Structure 1
Amino acid sequence: MTAAGKIVGVLLAAGLGRRFGSDKRLQPLADGTPLALAAARSLRAGCDEVLVVLRPGDAALAALLIAADCRVIYCAEAEQGMGHSLAAGVRASPAAAGWLIALADMPAIAPASHVAVAEALRRGASIAVPTFAGQRGHPVGFAARWRAELAAVQGDHGARQLLQGAPSEIEFVTLDDPGILADIDTPADLAAMPAVDWEKMAKITPRPA
């Protein structure tokens, strides 16, 4: 597959996580896997490449992610909001056929859910949004036509305004996966995280590039 045909997963992992009380990205899950690494592995199952956006100085986490076949970039403007990290990830993958925008604090998303959203893009969806029980979740997929808009996103709202301005472009992907709604902001969120089959997650086979 050529670079121009790749679906790239952009994992936003540059947040400070102040509400958690410590660096939640390195928080070990039930099987000992750091939270952000689990999210990256699941995302990798559906994408041809995973690009993780970190903040400068995240050397320890970067090493774990690189060992897991992820590409790492650093966003100096990350503290100004998630939108800056998203834009940096898109700018770093200009030849992609589309992107899955995912969050590092959502490790309970099933690999099959990432596959389903990516496949919607491969079938020609302009924007692919997963849902569970009528609620929108993550990751959100964008086709290459949105490159310029995504590369210009700023602030702390990610691509929310883009989605609000293009409702007719959205294809909803209905999933049976509560993990697409489960973001981890506090230790209580982690304790309430939907059950994950860690043995199955450990056996994830990355999509061949």
Structure 2
Amino acid sequence: MAAPPPRVAGLVLAAGAGRRYGGPKALAELDGTLFVDRATTVLAAAGCHPVLAVLGAAAEEVLARARLTGVTPVHNPDWPTGMGSSLRAGFAALPTDVDAVVVLPVDLPGITAEAVRRVLAHASPAALAAATFHGRRGHPVLFGRAHWAGAAASATGDAGARAYLAAHPPLPIPCEDVAEGSDVDTRNPLG
């Protein structure tokens, strides 16, 4: 009898204040859809379950305006310290029966479900994989359960898991043909 497929959660990091952007990126819109809804929908459409969204800055407004259908909100009281605290809060909130998690920052509206599925295809408790765009590592990033403690311990400031990924290079998954991997730092997304 074949082993069941790994259970993979989706985790959107959406707690930042978006100082350079001029407001929380969770509340930014593209084509009438909030970035936070866009990111959670992409993860769910790719097969991630459950999907969690780490919120912080303007969390009450995000909860009031966003659909977040089927999404578990996770409050990060330490959001002003940077993305590292959101990653730690997200890892801590994952159910114990999840084998891996796909992490996606909220400010990447060009990521598609197909890109997430490519990364998700490598899921296992020991997996570590990341989308690449023209040879450069990007998001989403897949962390098997075996990597959660180490990535959380090294996650600081706005660098997130960068130090951990430098020490433990993830399997590169080319995605430039199905997604656009640039983060949005201005109010003119994808343009």
TM-score, normalised via structure 2 length: 0.86
In structure 2, stretches of 5+ residues that fail to align are none
Instruction: Map 1:14-53; keep pairs closer than 5 Å.
Output: 14-30=15-31, 32-46=32-46, 47-53=48-54
* Residue of structure 2 equivalent to 1:157: 159
State the 1:155 CA deviation: 2.2
Query: RMSD between aligned alpha carbons?
Result: 2.1
State the 1:130 CA deviation: 1.0
Q: Aligned residues: percent identity? A: 33
Give the Cα separation in 2 of the matches to 1:52 and 1:118. 18
Would you say the 8 A contact 2:101–2:143 is kept in 1?
yes
Give the Cα separation in 2 of the matches to 1:77 and 1:116. 32
* Residue of structure 1 equivalent to 2:90: 89
The structure 1 residue matched to 2:168, chosen from 149, 166, 169, is: 166
Aligned residues: 183
* Residue of structure 1 equivalent to 2:147: 146
Q: Which moved more, 1:54-63 or 1:101-110?
A: 54-63
Is the strand fraction higher in 1 or 2? Answer: 2
Give the Cα separation in 2 of the matches to 1:74 and 1:145. 24
Give the Cα separation in 1 of the matches to 2:132 and 2:126. 15
* Residue of structure 2 equivalent to 1:198: none
TM-score, normalised via structure 1 length: 0.79
* Residues 126/63 of structure 1: CA separation in 2 closer, same or farther (3 Å cut): same
Residue 50 of structure 2 corresponds to residue 61 of structure 1: no
In structure 1, stretches of 5+ residues that fail to align are 193-209
State the 1:21 CA deviation: 1.9
* Residues 103/67 of structure 1: CA separation in 2 closer, same or farther (3 Å cut): closer
